[in-house]
Amino acid sequence: MLTLFTVSILAVLLYIADVLNNPAGFHLDESSIAFNAHTISQTGRDEYGLSWPLYFRAFGEFKNPVYIYLLAMLFGLTGPSILVARLFSATAGFLTVAVLGVLAARVTGRRTVGLLVAVSAMFTPWLFELSRVVLEVTLYPLVLALFLLCLHSAAQKAEWSWRDTIPLAITLALLTYTYSIGRLLAPLLTLGLLFFVRRVGWRGVLSAWGLYALTLVPVVVFNFRHPGALTGRFSLITYISPQSSFGETALGFLRHYAANVNPWRLLITGDPNYYQMAHVQEAELMLGATALLAAAGAWLVLRSRRPGPWWAFILYGLAASIVPASLTDEPFHMLHLAPVPVFLIILSAPALDWLLTGKTRRLATLLVVAAATLAQGAVFQWQYHGSAGSARRLHLFDAEYPQRILEPALARKQTPIYLADAIAIPGYIHAYWYVTLRGLDLSLFTRLPAEVDPPADALVISTRENWTGCEILSRIEPYTLCVTH
């Protein structure tokens, strides 16, 4: 119990350490989510005045509801706060660690395995980085771990009752509504319940399917009322087009799928996207020891003549978790692949169980694995916290916006302050969020449509390029504070 308590405290401290200042600043997407959570907590309406929306319109797409509504509940108690929002994400992170530890202990029947898996998850860069930002995807590993915990509990039964199928349907619904990839992944995981038909019969599986189908009614209705709203973003990032032949689509899928299982990206260089806000560039996503244990665990499962429906589902789930990301043209996008670390960490449990059988050579190997996990985890933590002041991260999170743009604008006491944005850079949301934190009213601002210019002698905060005919007061890319002539 003392060891478990110590690990729990360490996980909490690790995940909340300097959470307010690392990353410094606040990303545009974070401001959008936090501001809408605030408006919901106050009025039940989003930034556009829509009452209790199922999806939140923002930046030309629609954000998913689960994170925003949960954060709104917190803001209802605390008021709007960057610290509260970041702590909410951090809490989701260490709860993911805890659930994975509990699941591993139940799967193997060994508390020690659960403890080792929890430590591995705690130091996994991928999970840690997702817990440091205010994004919908932050909750995804936790929701997936909860679904697997419910599924494992049901898998022990010879027959599924409502007590088994209702938790499965609820967690599958959460997988659907928490992050956009869930609209494909959750149905794929639901299909994977077929692995359990021989054990529990068709009635239990069909019951779970039926309950889950009921939870999809709101998204079907929403999509009917707003055609293309939930697929607009996908149409911009996919390589699939109406002109693509079946062969071209299949070849493209296989090529992207292979790129998304590239171990070099997983273990060495990570997400290649320069503008990936959640990731430290050129850093690994998974620990080497965890990846080796996952591979060994998969081999142990496959060598068994009868791995059972649970482990068959885990292998299937790992393969399915790569499918949504492989339909887009974005290479190795860590957010779209967020379910992958959960499956890999669970797959490490059989290998750890095997190493704990008591033979001296195996125990020595286990000690080496544990040491490697702690060492690489510590190096990553040093790298992550050392990158907090890097120019790239300060730029991505607009760390200087409050001091260099908003404060000088407010200090001039000239209203309204016009917000004139480029279509691709909706900087207005920073202005809304930061004045909300200061307890000021949004009537300070007038937001201009993209094609409309501000009047003469106007104080303007803009993300448009090539401003002419104005006096620039302050500028940090991509924001300009100026007075028009």
Contact 178, 219 (CB under 8 A): no
**Same domain for 263 and 156?**
yes
pLDDT, position 243: 84
Q: Which helix (H) or strand (E) holds 158?
A: none
- Name the range with the highest mean pLDDT among 64-68, 359-363, 453-457, 468-472: 64-68
In the predicted model, is pLDDT for residue 1 greater than 70?
A: no
Q: Mean pLDDT over residues 456-477, rounded?
A: 89
Q: Please give the DSSP secondary-structure letter assigned to residue 50.
A: -
pLDDT at position 2 is 57
What is the percent of the chain with per-residue pLDDT over 70, rounded to a whole number? 99
341 in any annotated domain:
yes
Least confident of 130-134, 296-300, 328-332, 429-433: 328-332
346 shares its domain with 478: no
Q: What is the mean pLDDT of residues 255-262?
A: 94
**Residue pLDDT, tens place only, 61-71:** 899 999 999 99
Tens-digit pLDDT profile for residues 183-225: 999 999 999 999 999 999 999 999 999 999 999 999 999 999 9
Residue count of the chain, please give it: 485
Same domain, 360 and 430: no
Residue among 293, 484, 279 at smallest CA distance from 372: 293
Do both 300 and 446 map to the same domain?
A: no
- In angstroms, rounded to a whole number, what is the distance separating the alpha carbons of residues 14 and 381? 9
Whether residue 456 sits in one domain with residue 359: no
Question: Of 385, 416, 442, which marks where a domain is finished?
Answer: 385
Domain boundary among 342, 360, 385: 385
As a whole number, mean pLDDT of residues 130-159 equals 96
**438 CB neighbour count, 10 Å cutoff:** 10
Residue 109, phi then psi, degrees to nearest 5? 75, 15
Whether residue 120 is found in the same domain as residue 169: yes
361 and 456 both lie in a single domain? no
Domain contains 393? no
Do the bridges between strand 417-420 and strand 459-462 make them parallel or antiparallel, or are there none, so unpaired? parallel
- What was the pLDDT predicted at 345? 98
Measured distance CA(185)–CA(410) in Å, rounded: 46
CB-based burial, 41-69: b 16+ in 10 Å, e otherwise: beeeebbeeeeebebbbbeebbbbbbbbb
Confidence of residue 448 (pLDDT cuts 50, 70, 90): very high
| pLDDT value at 307 more than 90 | no
Mean predicted confidence (pLDDT) in 16-33: 93
Q: Given a cut of 90, is residue 358 above it in pLDDT?
A: no
Q: Are residues 416 and 335 in the same domain?
A: no
DSSP letters spanning 385-422: HHTTT-HHHHHHTTTTHIIIIIHHHHHTT-SPEEEE--
C-alpha 122/C-alpha 13 separation (Å) is: 11
Residues 23 and 167 in one domain: yes
Q: Is the pLDDT of residue 465 over 90?
A: no
Average pLDDT rounded to a whole number, residues 130-155: 97
CA distance 58 to 46: 10
Would you say residue 391 lies in a domain?
no
Tell me what the mean pLDDT of segment 20-28 comes to: 93
Does some domain include residue 130?
Answer: yes
Query: Could you report the per-residue pLDDT of 422-431, keeping only the tens digit for each?
Result: 988 999 999 9
Same domain, 49 and 132: yes
Predicted pLDDT of residue 292: 96
Predicted local distance difference test score (pLDDT) of residue 130: 97
Residue 4, pLDDT score = 67
Same domain, 377 and 454: no
Flag whether 392 is in a domain: no
Report cis status (omega within 30 of 0) of the bond before 307.
no
pLDDT tens digits, residue range 371-414? Answer: 999 999 999 999 999 998 899 999 999 999 999 999 999 999 99
Contact 315, 195 (CB under 8 A): no
Choosing from 385, 414, 433, the residue where a domain stops is 385
Split into its structural domains, the chain has a count of 2
Same domain, 242 and 346: yes
Average pLDDT for 117-144: 96
Answer whether residue 87 shows pLDDT above 80.
yes
The tally of CA atoms less than 13 A away on the side-chain side of residue 378 is 6
Is the residue at 390 inside a domain? no
In this model, does residue 113 exceed pLDDT 90?
yes
Range of the domain at 160: 2-385
